[in-house]
């Protein structure tokens, strides 16, 4: 039985497998610049975040209807459930769809067709987190928050993703203030490719409750100390870091040192269709390659539930945590 866990850093568009991309392309009459799924998979050799994002945005153009978003999310939830995910907090990138003429309602209600049935179908509870593209303007982010107004009952929080360097968190101060005023939870990608200062800014200027990636905190001992003291959860994505060359090898990933330092780490899959593994695969890779002790693995699973936005359902969180404590980590 796979480790019971929550997934807190997962871009739903990053779960688009080549087979589904071709099926949706055919259904929607969209032409893909690849002959077949094999040729497409060969393009999954990335130099950095940008080279990945170029393909990620190109491929998601096959997503056009509510049914497409529902199929995408349902396929992810089935895979996640099979790999031990009990709870998933799912990012989506509305600006990437709005720019192509796909409305906010199509995206959110499409995803909801799958998320609303996820507990009964897959045994996975879910939350939705709407991300702003940081390489778009602050005005565009604010317009996106506006466009989401009719769907806020479906959305738990806001996040910040896409090309990091040159787009510091402070660019989005106002939209995060507006999101907080609407009662939305706040997270942001920071310290993936960007410098440690972006992590500090995400905390101090945007008021985030979790940092997505946060990997580069290890360069600043004072920042590590603060993150430990304030118990700020980091949603690490080790396989993503390898594929996007943020770290040289998985064996050299700083996760063990980060846990030893007392950081509240979680492990997640980020964009599993592109980076070679879903949540369970990621856990297995970390276990096998980094040689973490059983109690460290338990800590990672426990942290995933402690860091999840389950404040409105503490009974559920307690149930999940009890499952982690009862699990035999070997
Ligand atoms: N980083 C930044 N933006 C993203 C990512 C990522 O890993 N995946 C999808 N959008
Ligand atoms: Zn991410």
Smallest CA separation from ligand 1 atom 2, residue: 162
Ligand 1 within 6 A of CB of 212: no
Q: Can you say whether residue 228 is alpha, beta or left, with left for phi > 0 and alpha for psi between -120 and 50 degrees?
A: alpha
Backbone phi, psi, residue 79, to 5°: -65, -45
- Residues 241-260 have a mean pLDDT of 98
Structure tokens that stand for 174 in this block: 């106002």
The CATH homologous superfamily of the domain defined by 5-318: Metal-dependent hydrolases (3.20.20.140)
Residues 290-322: tens digit of each pLDDT: 999 999 999 999 999 999 999 999 999 999 999
Calculate how far, in angstroms, residue 161's C-alpha sits from the geometric centre of ligand 1: 5
Strands laid side by side in the 125-133 sheet: 5-11, 85-92, 125-133, 157-161, 185-190, 210-213, 233-236, 264-267
Backbone phi, psi, residue 29, to 5°: 65, 35
- Which residues make Cβ contacts (< 8 Å) with residue 284, sequence separation at least 6? none
pLDDT of 178: 99
Is 9 labelled a binding residue? yes
SS3 category, 189:
strand
Residue 177 burial (10 A CB sphere; 0-12, 13-18, 19+): middle
Residue 25 burial (10 A CB sphere; 0-12, 13-18, 19+): middle
pTM of the model: 0.98
pLDDT of 320: 98
Is 248 labelled a binding residue? no
C-alpha of 292 from chain center: 23
Active-site annotation holder among 192, 193, 201, 299: 192
Calculate how far, in angstroms, residue 327's C-alpha sits from the geometric centre of ligand 1: 31
Pocket test for ligand 1, best of 53, 165, 167, 215 (most atoms within 8 A of CB): 53
Active site residue 192: yes
From the alpha carbon of 164, which atom of ligand 1 is closest?
Answer: 2
Local confidence band at 5 (pLDDT 50, 70, 90 cut-offs): very high
Calculate how far, in angstroms, residue 161's C-alpha sits from the geometric centre of ligand 2: 6
Domain ranges of the chain: 5-318
Structure tokens that stand for 20 in this block: 């589904």
Quote the mean pLDDT of the chain.
98
Ligand 1 within 6 A of CB of 213: no
Residue 35 burial (10 A CB sphere; 0-12, 13-18, 19+): exposed
- Which residues make Cβ contacts (< 8 Å) with residue 90, sequence separation at least 6? 10, 12, 73, 76, 111, 115, 126, 127, 128, 129
Count of residues in the chain? 330
- Residues 244-251 have a mean pLDDT of 98
Is 212 labelled a binding residue? no
């Amino acid at each position: 039985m796979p480790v019971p866990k929550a997934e807190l850093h997962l871009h739903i568009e990053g779960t688009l497998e080549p087979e589904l991309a071709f099926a949706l392309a055919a259904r929607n009459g969209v032409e893909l610049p690849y002959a077949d799924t094999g040729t497409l998979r060969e393009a999954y050799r990335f130099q950095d975040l940008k080279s990945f994002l170029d393909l990620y945005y190109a491929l998601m153009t096959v997503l056009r209807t509510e049914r497409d978003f529902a199929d995408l999310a349902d396929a992810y939830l089935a895979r996640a459930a099979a790999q031990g995910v009990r709870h998933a907090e799912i990012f989506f990138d509305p600006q990437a769809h709005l720019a192509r003429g796909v409305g906010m309602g199509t995206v959110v209600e499409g995803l909801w067709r799958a998320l609303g049935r996820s507990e009964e179908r897959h045994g996975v509870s879910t939350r939705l987190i709407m991300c702003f593209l940081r390489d778009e303007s602050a005005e565009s982010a604010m317009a996106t928050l506006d466009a989401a107004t009719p769907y806020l009952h479906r959305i738990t929080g806001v996040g910040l993703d896409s090309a990091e360097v040159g787009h510091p968190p402070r660019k989005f101060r106002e939209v995060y203030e507006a999101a907080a005023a609407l009662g939305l939870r706040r997270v942001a990608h920071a310290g993936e490719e960007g410098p440690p200062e972006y992590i500090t800014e995400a905390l101090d200027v945007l008021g985030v409750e979790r940092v997505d990636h946060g990997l580069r905190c290890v360069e600043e001992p004072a920042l590590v100390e603060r993150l430990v003291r304030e118990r700020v959860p980091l949603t690490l994505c080790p396989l993503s870091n390898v594929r996007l060359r943020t770290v040289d090898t998985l064996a050299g990933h700083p996760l063990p040192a980060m846990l030893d330092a007392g950081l509240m780490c979680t492990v997640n899959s980020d964009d599993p269709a592109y980076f070679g593994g879903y949540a369970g695969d990621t856990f297995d890779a970390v276990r096998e390659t980094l040689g973490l002790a059983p109690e460290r693995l338990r800590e990672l699973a426990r942290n995933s539930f402690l860091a999840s936005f389950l404040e409105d359902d503490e009974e559920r969180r307690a149930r999940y945590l009890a499952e982690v404590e009862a699990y035999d980590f070997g």
